[in-house]
Every structure is written in structure tokens, then in C-alpha cells.
Structure 1
């Protein structure tokens, strides 16, 4: 029979979440091509980057909302060992585009791909004030933990004492296990992101002292 080795009070896990309509999107694009010579690779990639920049401006996106990398050139090979052969020179330039025009996002991506951004690595929908949403999610997690603790205490015929332990919990590590968790991290970009809503989650482990009725 399992036993509690160090009984000290009541420990409960609480979770909370907040959802909101997205206000902006970040789109990760890349010009990624292969050419037989470095000169050809740079020329083709440079032309594609110019077309991409023009398309973004046509969609009303200022240069300040486009973060990009310099053209990177690498030698590409096919096969392994004795069968390994030179395949050409790969040239890549990556960009992250910020836009609040969500209604035209699909057309923006289509035009960017047509212009030469032949890789769409990610589309992230976000809100303007995610830290405020996370704070509210944390408050809801604390409230949920306290409600749970009150039910346990009432069922056991005791009263809740003061909070004597607070531990931040990564909500992604909960997985339905009462205290299975990963602590110490606070990824400010996590949360379930979908075109319909942005959801921010939080979880907390609270320890309460117990008092007799």
C-alpha cells in the first residue's frame, strides 16, 4: 500500500487559460533554390528576393515589418559514401513577415510563393498583448487550484490554512498526470495557436497548510 512519506498539508495542481481573437500574423518565408554555380545561385536568389520585396510592398507591408537574413550559400550533395555526388549550390534567404491584414493573408502567401518564396515554414497568429493574457491565465490557474483544495479540505473535515508553497508549472507537461511536470521554464511564445483564436495557458502547483475544524 502506498504511503505519504512526508505528510505536511495539501498539494493541488490548477490550470487556467485565456483565448482571444488574433490581431496579427507572422509568416516565415524562404527563398530556397539550387543552381550549378555560385554566381547563378546568387543571381537567381537575388532576383527572387527582389520580386518578393516588391510583392510585400504591393500588399502594403512596410520594410520595417519584414525581417530577413543575408543570402547563404552551401554546397549540396546527393547520396552517401562512394555514391555521394555533387548536386549544386544551394542559396537560401529567410524572412519573417508581420501583418495585421489577416483577411488578405491567404492571397499574400500565394503572391509571395509566386514571386519566389518557395518555402512557407510557419504561420503564427498572435495577439497584441500576450503577457497580459498570460497573467490572467495564471490568476485563473490559482483560482482553480484553490477551488480544488477547498473541495478536498471540506471532504476531509479540515480547513484550508495559508498557502505555503507556490510552484510554476509548464502546462504542456501536465498531460493528465496530477504532479507530472517540468518546472523552471516560462516560454512566453507557447499556447495553442489557430487561425480562429490564440489560447494562452498557465498552470500552478499550490501547497496549503491544513487546520482542524
Structure 2
């Protein structure tokens, strides 16, 4: 047990304390220096003035780095401290977790205390159609092909839709039509080529009525 006080002042004010102080000094029980020992690292420091507590033991420990393993697996980077508050302290070191996709296992880009959220690493996906596309990792299972469909429609033209959509769109390729009656030619979209073969141009002939 330590008793802290101004022993010299008390000895001047009382014969009882004067005798007690004399005995304590003779037996080595009194000193002007106060040793403190770090519970974690075992370092011993000597305090001579109260203000030295703030410089030699600011967090109740010593001046070394705590370096204790925290629940997240990182080492505590703070100055040595007495309170074991690692469970409630936000670790600001880079997160060591990886994304759940077993194909990639990308490292998290956030800080350790932050929720990982969706993996935003860009990845290149090879789709069933044979094309590849670039998406964010968490969207890899929902990736669709945006290239033009390479399938050929029944009319002989290439499908105008994108590869990731079904080929149920009407063909909009322009085709030229003509007939044997007027020898005119005109352009329509392929899907309307069989609807009508009537020439849309005005007939140049003059009726019998003039």
C-alpha cells in the first residue's frame, strides 16, 4: 500500500509525524520518488512530480504501443492502456476480410470497423453466349450481354436485338421492293415486305377522262 502526501510538511507540524517520518526514512519506507509498473509490459517508471503521470503514463500503462490482439485479428496500435476496451473500439486498419464469391475472394477495400457491403471489384465474365463483359463482382451472377445478337432471323437478316434478349423483335432492316406492273422500286422495313406489294408512288398514267 502506498500513502501519498507531503511528509516533510506534516513532520514540521506535529511531533507524532516528525517521529513517524524519521522511522519511515530510516527503514526505507518513505521516498520522494514513486515507482509505477506497467501491467501489460512490465516496464517500471519513476514519478517524481504528479505532472509526470500525463507524460509517462497517459493511458494508465507505459509509453509503448499496446500491440494486443483485438477481436478483429489486428494488433492494437494505440499507446499502452489499462482498460480492455478492444471490443468497443473502432479498428481503423484496412479490412482483412474477403468477398464471399469463391471464384475471386477479393480483399475488402474498406476499413476494418466498416461493414464490407457489396464487392465493387471489376471482373470480366464469360457469358453463356460466348461473349465477355465487365461488371462489378457482386453483379457477376446477374450479368447480361449487351453486344448485338449474332443470330440470323428467318428472313436472313441478323437479329437487331442485344445478345442477352430473346430474338422476338421484328426485323427493321431496309429492303427494296418492286413489281412488274410499274417498274417502280421502293424501300420498306423487312418485317413489312410481305404485307403489301402495292407501289406507294403516284401513277403517272392519265385516265381516259383526261
TM norm structure 2: 0.20
Richer in strand (by share): 1
Higher relative contact order (CA 8 A, sep 6+): 1
TM norm structure 1: 0.20
* Bigger-Rg structure (1/2): 2
